Amino acid sequence: MRNKACSLCGQTKPLEDFHRNKTTRDGHTSRCKECATSKTREWYSENRERALKRASDRYREDPDPMRNRYYRNQYNITLDQYREMLSSQGGLCAICGTVDPEARSLAVDHDHACCPGPRSCGKCVRQLLCMSCNTGIGAFADDLKRMQAAMDYIRKHQG
């Protein structure tokens, strides 16, 4: 296990105690996580007004800029398109017809045969699913034979 000295506190700690940073030679930040957190908190307490203004300016331009950017980058759809899909499904999962109250939003499901991996071209977006259904069909890799075999298995072992 490799160790590194923090540039702020000077303590030598394991690399797990440093955030990852691809731009550095060893792939980790120069400050340990503890020092980085305290430095960030210190900056925010000293620059509270500036930080709040920056955040309000960002949200004035677009009410949900981070979510809109996420849906654009991941699924090639807009936040408005996501909301339209959500409304057309009545806010419920397309498979089980429920919504997880703990979840912040339903997951965008897409056909991995068209776009393998987490990103989609947008043409293969199917519907919105709760996290349980989305991870369930993901675990079967959209393989209908495996899903059918799982259904047969459950039927066989039902009390």
pLDDT of residue 118: 76
CB environment 97-135: b (16+ within 10 A), e (fewer): eebeeeeebbbbbbeeeebeeeebebeebebbbbeebbe
Averages of pLDDT over each 10 residues, the chain, 159 residues: 91 94 90 93 86 63 71 89 89 85 78 83 90 89 91 90
Same domain, 46 and 101: no
Same domain, 54 and 66: no
The structural domain count of the chain equals 2
Instruction: Count the residues in the chain.
Output: 159
pLDDT of residue 68: 83
Same domain, 74 and 37: no
pLDDT of residue 116: 81
Same domain, 72 and 14: no
pLDDT of residue 153: 93
- For 94, the domain range is 62-156
Of 40, 58, 76, the last residue of a domain is 58
pLDDT of residue 53: 73
Same domain, 72 and 32: no
